[in-house]
Amino acid sequence: MLICRHERDRYLPGFGRSDPPRDVERLAGGELNATEIRDGLDMSQPAVSQHLAVLRQAGLISEERSGRTVRYRVRAAGLSPLHDWLGRHRAFWPERIDRLKTLLKEMDQ
């Protein structure tokens, strides 16, 4: 599962700007702990932990503690229907307004 750019910018501001969100793609393949997630990213461990906490609160990832290890897994059902609704309709209206603009040009007074 990919987190779209909208979610990434909201929950992980400043994160992965030059890179694709590799951490989420890697999570989608299975489980990773915070150190594995941090590998290859230009972020401190506390910053990674903070971002993971936000993602978990948002319901996008789940965490499982085993002794001193915490493993993270993407929750495929974490995104709500409302999220999908918002995405579809955000993409819908600009195109409609473009059509409205064209119509307005074609209309007489």
Partner 1 sequence: MMPARKLEEAVTFECELEASPEKVWRALTVPELLAEWLPTSGSAEDNEPDAVRFSEIETIESRPHEMLRYGLREENAEAGLEDSIVTFELRPTANGGTWLRLVHVAADARPRIRAPAANGNVLMRAAA
Site string for partner 1, 75-94 (x = CB under 8 A): -----xxxxxxx-xxx-xxx
Enumerate the H helices of 2-80 as residue ranges: 5-11, 22-28, 34-38, 45-57
Q: Which residue among 17, 65, 68, 96 contacts partner 1 (CB under 8 A)?
A: 96
Contacts of partner 1 in 48-67 (CB under 8 A): 50-51, 53-54, 57-58
In this structure, how many other beta carbons lie within 10 angstroms of the beta carbon of residue 108? 3
Least Å from the CB of residue 52 to partner 1:
11
Q: Which residue among 35, 45, 69, 102 contacts partner 1 (CB under 8 A)?
A: 102
- Strand stretches in 1-109, DSSP E: 32-33, 61-66, 69-74
